């Protein structure tokens, strides 16, 4: 089996997995998308405040989800960013950077606030690898600054706190989950609600577990 690259853009490339047998007959021609900038590694983050039973959701425009001719809408998303190994030592550094850039949040106790919710794949038309995280926030463990968006689109987007991560909250409070289009956000929420893991990860411990 060989990988062939048909087109490369600024962020994505269109690729195929091609397999030709010994008789020259093509057995496979599988098309998919690869994210060049981060070599297919994406960080997805859901900040929560357990004492207030709230989670911080990103409201993004997401152009390819818009319907032509209709008013633009802000979709519910997790905070996301590409893990670029040339810039960041670990995906943990990407979590820290995205919190600052998209939400204006600076963590005070990095080694004790970030929980790993594991990794997932996306659709079968992409080879992306998603690293899922919950960030624990309370009134004392972070500082708020002005967000640092790096594009015009991001300057039109924002974050908002919504009620929801606790299992015993009222059903009406959980209706927000049925309006979320982002599968990454839903995956983090589901894993957090069913996880017994409450041990924070650090740069060193996370790298050792994922990139061996």
Buried b (16+ CB within 10 A) or exposed e, 30-63: eebbbbeebebbbbbbbbbbeeeebbbbbebebe
Query: Closest Cα partner for 188 from 40, 56, 37, 63?
Result: 56
- Which of 1-10, 118-127, 130-139, 198-207 shows the lowest per-residue confidence on average (mean pLDDT)? 198-207
Return the domain boundaries, the chain.
1-36, 38-210
Q: What's the whole-number mean pLDDT along residues 71-89?
A: 91
Contact 153, 61 (CB under 8 A): yes
Averaged pLDDT for residues 98-122: 93
Quick one: pLDDT at residue 11?
A: 92
- Give residue 196's pLDDT band: very low, low, confident or very high (50, 70, 90): low
pLDDT of residue 122: 86
> What is the number of helices (H) and of strands (E) in the chain?
4, 12
pLDDT score of 209 more than 60 = no
CB 136 within 8 A of CB 129: no
Where in the chain does DSSP place strands (E)? 2-8, 12-20, 26-35, 41-49, 54-60, 75-77, 79-82, 105-107, 114-121, 129-136, 142-144, 158-163
pLDDT at 18 over 90: yes
192-195 own/partner pairs: CB under 8 Å, 24+ apart:
192/46, 192/48, 192/115, 192/117, 192/134, 192/165, 193/165, 193/167, 195/117
pLDDT value of residue 164: 65
For the entire predicted model, the pTM comes to 0.89
For the chain, the distance separating the N- and C-terminal CA atoms, rounded to the nearest angstrom, is: 24
Euclidean distance between CA atoms 174 and 167, whole angstroms: 9
Residues 126-178 have pLDDT tens digits of: 999 999 999 999 889 999 999 988 888 889 999 999 886 554 444 445 667 78
pLDDT of residue 53: 85
| CATH superfamily name and code, 38-210 | Nucleoside Triphosphate Pyrophosphohydrolase (3.90.79.10)
**Mean pLDDT confidence for 75-80:** 94
Query: Would you state the pLDDT for residue 79?
Result: 96
Tens digits of residue pLDDT in 21-75:
888 888 999 999 999 989 999 999 999 998 888 899 999 999 999 999 888 889 9
Q: Which residues contact 170 (CB under 8 A, 6 or more apart)?
A: none
Structure tokens that stand for 53 in this block = 């039973």
pLDDT of residue 180: 87
Q: Which pLDDT score is estimated for 198?
A: 78
- pLDDT for res 208: 46
What pLDDT, on a 0 to 100 scale, did the predictor assign at position 171? 46
Distance CA 155, CA 134 (A): 24
Q: How far apart, in whole angstroms, are the C-alpha atoms of residue 202 and residue 204? A: 5
């Amino acid at each position: 089996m060989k990988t062939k690259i048909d087109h490369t853009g600024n962020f994505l490339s269109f690729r195929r997995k091609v397999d030709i047998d010994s008789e020259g007959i093509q057995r496979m021609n599988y098309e998919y998308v690869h994210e060049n900038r981060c070599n297919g590694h994406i960080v997805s983050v859901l900040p929560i405040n357990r004492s207030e039973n709230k989670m911080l959701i990103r409201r993004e425009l997401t152009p390819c989800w818009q319907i032509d001719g209709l008013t633009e809408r802000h979709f519910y998303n997790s905070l996301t960013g590409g893990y670029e190994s040339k810039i960041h030592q670990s995906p943990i550094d990407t979590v820290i950077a995205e919190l600052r850039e998209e939400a204006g949040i600076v963590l005070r106790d990095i080694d004790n606030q970030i929980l790993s919710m594991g990794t997932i794949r996306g659709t079968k038309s992409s080879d992306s690898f998603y690293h899922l995280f919950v960030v624990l926030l309370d009134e004392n463990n972070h500082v708020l600054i002005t967000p640092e968006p790096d594009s015009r689109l991001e300057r039109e987007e924002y974050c908002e706190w919504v009620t929801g991560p606790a299992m015993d909250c009222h059903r009406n409070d959980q209706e927000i989950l049925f309006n979320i289009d982002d599968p990454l956000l839903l995956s983090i929420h589901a894993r957090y609600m069913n996880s017994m893991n409450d041990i924070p990860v650090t740069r060193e411990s996370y790298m050792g577990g994922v990139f061996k």
